[in-house]
Amino acid sequence: MGRVLSLNIFRFIIFILMQVFLFRNIGYYNLAAPFPYIYFLLALPLSISNFTLYTIAFLTGLTVDAFYDTPGVHAAACTALAWARVVFLNITIQPENHELQATPGMSEMSFRWYFIYALVLSFFHHLVLFILEVFSFANFHYTLISVFLSCIFTVVLLLLFDFIFYRKKKR
């Protein structure tokens, strides 16, 4: 338990710092920007309760907001991501098949499962993020293109990060 907690705190700090100081400066003009800090939320353990998940997601969003000068926008997006995560895990995973400490990742599941998981969750996150950031439905096609391109950008990074944490199954 202590190991899981410290690993997650470590991930939180690393991903926030990387997002704020590295990925904030990377972007294709204003069309696409990566937000790989959501890897932290994707990788929270399966056994986590809904309330804890939402609280952590909200606070993570708020922390990123503080650095981005956009109060509430990332918090809302992360909350939407948390909801998508709960629904997605309910649909695709039978809880008795996995030990409770497990984290959703390529090493536990399959590559295909993780790819769809990352794609769906980052899509919801980016959709809410960009709509709230623009805060209008004018030029909606432009916003949608931003969402799709940023999604691709983020998912590629998420897959790369998951390969870093990849561990061969002990059988």
Partner 1 sequence: MRNLWIFISKYNAFFLFMLYFSLAFLLVVRNNAYQRAGSINSANRVVAYFYGHYSDLTGYLNLAETNRALADENARLRGELEVSKFHNDTTQGQIIDTVSQQRYTYIVAQVIKNSIHQKNNVITINRGSRHGIQKGMGVLSPTGVAGIVLQVSEHFATVQSLLHSDTRISASLQKSKAFGSLVWGEDNFNPRMAYLDDIPNHVKVTEGEPVVTSGYSLFPPGIPVGHVISATSKGGKSFLEIPIALTTDFARLQIVYVVKDDFAEEKHQLEEASTDG
- Residue 32 has φ and ψ, to the nearest 5°, of -135, 135
88 binds partner 1 (CB under 8 A): no
To partner 1, the closest distance from the beta carbon of 126 in angstroms equals 14
83 binds partner 1 (CB under 8 A): yes
Enclosing H/E stretch for 122:
helix 111-134
To partner 1, the closest distance from the beta carbon of 11 in angstroms equals 18
95 binds partner 1 (CB under 8 A): no
6 binds partner 1 (CB under 8 A): no
58 binds partner 1 (CB under 8 A): yes
Alpha helices per DSSP H over 22-72: 39-42, 50-68
Which DSSP symbol is given to 38?
G
- Residue 151, number of CB atoms within 10 A of its CB: 23
User: Which span (38-46, 95-103, 133-141, 147-155) binds partner 1, by CB under 8 A?
Assistant: 133-141
**The two structure tokens encoding residue 31:** 């069309």
CA–CA gap between residue 124 and residue 25 (Å, rounded): 23
Residue of 69, 57, 162, 80 whose CA lies nearest to 126: 80
User: Which span (79-87, 93-101, 104-112, 160-168) binds partner 1, by CB under 8 A?
Assistant: 79-87
Residues 6+ apart with CB under 8 A from 18: 36, 37
48 binds partner 1 (CB under 8 A): no
62 binds partner 1 (CB under 8 A): yes
Summarize as ranges the residues that interact with partner 1 (CB under 8 A): 20-21, 24-27, 29-31, 33, 50-51, 54-55, 57-58, 61-62, 65-73, 75-76, 79-80, 82-83, 86-87, 90, 132-135, 139, 142
